[in-house]
A and B are shown apart, each in its own frame.
Chain A
Amino acid sequence: MGIFRSGMSKTRQSFFGRIATLLGGSKIDDETWEDIETVLIQADVGVNTSQKIVEELRSRAGREGMRNTDQVQKALREVLMGMLKTPPVMNISGRDLSIILVVGVNGSGKTTSIGKLAYRLNLAGRKVMLAAGDTFRAAAIEQIQKWGERVNAPVVAGKAGSDPAAVVYDATAAAKARDYEILLVDTAGRLHTNFNLMGELAKIKAVCSRVIPDAPHEVLLVLDGTTGQNALEQAKRFQEVVDVTGVIVTKLDGSAKGGMVFSVFNDLKLPVQYVGLGEGMDNLVLFNPENFVLSLFDEN
């Protein structure tokens, strides 16, 4: 929780800290609702979702006879909390080898998140191997190899420019033969609108199941926390093509608030598994909606 809170504190101050100051303990008026909408929109919650939240809050305030803004703030917290979910335990136990496929648009933080995840899983005593499935971007292979060294996980790689599906096949076979428990598969960044590259991704996914029939067991979509409303389009398209099971939201150590998570979860039912709070190997934390929302309301 330590990292989570310290990493989140900026977000907390700028987002909910503002609501707290805005709302104080004063009387409810039109401005109250406008202020809430403003703050939600500026957190990238999206104008539609923000308006829906405010509407719900407003009718609740009427129904429950709320008199001051403290009550509204409490209700807002509840509404927001109700829109998120504790991530289900990842489906990566109870078999010899589990495969996690990591996907997302260019530069969202896939490779870094894989490094951090490998570090976490290692700490938890799991035997982890990495697959250098990005054969396209210049020095992508070197990048994941450096992460492998850093977190002490072997990396299976092919040649730059070679077929990523072949690399992934080799990696699954190697992980199985060498008794690894978890294989983390990196993929090249691709825009969800690129038809051919999305097709390639479907192929990579299919290859995983050639060695391990029900693999991949988790497909994690990495979303850049600074992304606006396009995150939802990304999530939709990746979900269609590779059946995403969970989301990692990165770069929340910056000034961005990651409010698009609300619509990603509500429209697509994709739970956030982890949050990226920095570039270090220990800067990946489990997403905990309750602590998340609660800590957002803390003032200091």
Chain B
Amino acid sequence: MFESLSQRLQATFDRLSNGGKLTENDVNTAMRDVRMALLEADVALPVVKDFVNRIKERAIGADITKSLKPGQQVVKIVHEELITTLGEPGRLNFSGSTKPYVIMLIGLQGSGKTTTAAKLAVYLRREGRQPFMIAADTYRPAAVDQLITLSKQIGVPYYEEGTRASPPDIVSRGLKAAKDANAAVCIIDTAGRLQIDDRLMEELEEIKRRANPAEILLVADAMTGQEAVNIAQGFNQRVGITGLILTKIDGDARGGAAISMRAVTNVPIKFLGTGEKIDGFEVFHPDRLADRILGMGDIMTLIEKAEAAYDEAEAEKLQKKLMENQFTLQDFLEQLQKIRRMGPISQIMNMIPGMSQLQMQNQMDQETVEKRIKRVEAIINSMTRTERNNPKILNASRKKRIASGSGVEVRDVNDLLKQFRQMQDMMGQIRKGRFPKIPGLPPNLFG
């Protein structure tokens, strides 16, 4: 698994001198780590080189704030520079062109254009703009059927001619239909194509000429590797893109392709696709993605993972229990086991902001964390059902029995009970606000 940049930099700086300023030597050493981390996150090499040079300039001679260690200082600079590179959250631009505004979705095969078209339509409708869709992918078998099915599902009008006509002709007639339907925005779903496919790129140019789009959005897979640069450049040079949509960000790819594509096209990232369902669609936030690329903890990803691990009914049951203050040690044990099934603990820990630092400060490696969790499980496993449901009955002799049953000290049992009580208090507070659906995540179990 990826080591987070902050951890890696900290280790590097521990080996280096600790003066009041970042020396050139310190910075050069650190830049090797930055380069590695970015490459592991799939940022394209030429983009990494540029980026590292910019960081270096800023970092050399930068005064070290008292509160930050040199490693943290560099991470801060990298983080800021990443956010700058990723740019402002993009908005759709509807000025200039005549109604209906046209949005063209383009991209490689399998990047998620059709699904994105439907998500975008729902988003626009929620914003108060009547959407319309045109099925212009006549190549992939059943691509038109896919768009029709989705349109019907979300109740958005569409235009299609099956696969008989040429895509530019379909678009011309579709636009007329959109106008007749009084649509405010018309989304064109084009076929996936390689940016090096001359004939199909010409077709895109023709569609653009006919549709005069307000937006041409490149839909790209978040898992894309080094080719991100060529893809973005290729599409941009031929048809001129106005924005990016990054899909499948709900996986565990670092998403470095976003940086690469931004860097070579300079167009804003407008949306992120965060799931297969229609509501898996979000306006882009640069800070979140920067955190993710750096492996600095991404609480949202954690929540997404947690949500993926729980089915809804179960989550609701649990939530109800929490609301009614009926969450027991037995529930806690079950949740713990669930969390562990979500993936290696170290990976999950890395998603919690601050956790990786905590881990670092306490010199806690994955093994220690796993050991602690196992210990907690062992303690709860040594309790009877009644005890798990009502820990108040745990007197000295019961605690002693549990301790020897699980091979720990009575002190450890007491610690766990204390933490559990604290957790219940925290739940009490959360109960008043919005509950983030990560039941059973104790506040200081790992600390």
- Using CB atoms and an 8 Å cutoff, list the residues of chain A in contact with chain B: 10, 38, 41-44, 46-48, 105-109, 136-140, 142-143, 145-147, 150, 160, 191-197, 224, 226-231, 233, 251, 253-257, 260, 279
Contacts and interface: CB of A to CB of B under 8 A. Distances in A.
Interface stretch (B222-230, B287-295, B320-328, B370-378): B222-230
B194 interface: yes
Nearest to A233: B252
B194 A254 contact: yes
Nearest to A260: B225
* List of 9 A-B pairs having minimum Cβ-Cβ separation, nearest first: A228-B225, A107-B110, A228-B42, A146-B141, A139-B145, A139-B146, A143-B142, A138-B149, A142-B142
Given A226-B227, A254-B108, A143 B44 contact: no
Given A105-B223, A224-B110, A224-B221, A229 B42 contact: yes
A226 B150 contact: no
Given A42-B226, A228-B225, A138 B146 contact: yes
Contacts of B14: none
Contact of B45 (A41, A195, A231): A41
Among B40, B146, B225, residue most surrounded by chain A Cβ atoms (within 10 Å): B225
Contacts of B142: 139-140, 142-143, 145-146
Nearest to A14: B230
B152 to A, nearest CB: 9
A21 B200 CA distance: 31
Contact of A279 (B112, B139, B195, B342): B139
A193 B252 contact: yes
Interface in B337-390: 341-343
Contact of B248 (A105, A109, A229): A105
A44 B226 contact: yes
Interface stretch (B61-69, B72-80, B303-311): B303-311
Nearest to B152: A138
A1 B68 CA distance: 59
Given A107-B111, A195-B308, A254-B196, A38 B42 contact: no
A47 B36 contact: yes
B250 interface: yes
A69 to B, nearest CB: 21
A251 B109 contact: yes
Contacts of A192: 251-252
Given A47-B39, A196-B311, A226-B231, A191 B141 contact: no
Interface residue SS majority, chain B: loop
Interface residues of B, number: 53
Given A44-B225, A107-B112, A255 B234 contact: yes
Given A41-B226, A42-B226, 8 more contacts: A139-B148, A142-B146, A193-B252, A228-B257, A229-B42, A231-B225, A254-B108, A279-B109
Most B C-beta atoms less than 10 A away, residue of A10, A46, A228, A229: A228
Contacts of B230: 255
A230 B252 contact: yes
Nearest to A160: B149
A227 B225 contact: yes
A215 to B, nearest CB: 27
A42 B42 CA distance: 10
B342 A195 contact: yes
12 contacts: A10-B196, A42-B44, A43-B226, A44-B225, A44-B227, A138-B150, A191-B248, A194-B308, A224-B223, A227-B221, A228-B253, A229-B41
A255 B145 contact: no
A98 B29 CA distance: 55
Interface centre among A106, A145, A251, A257 (most CB of B within 10 A): A106
B237 interface: no
B224 A227 contact: yes
Contacts of A142: 141-142, 145-146
Nearest to A255: B230
B392 to A, nearest CB: 34
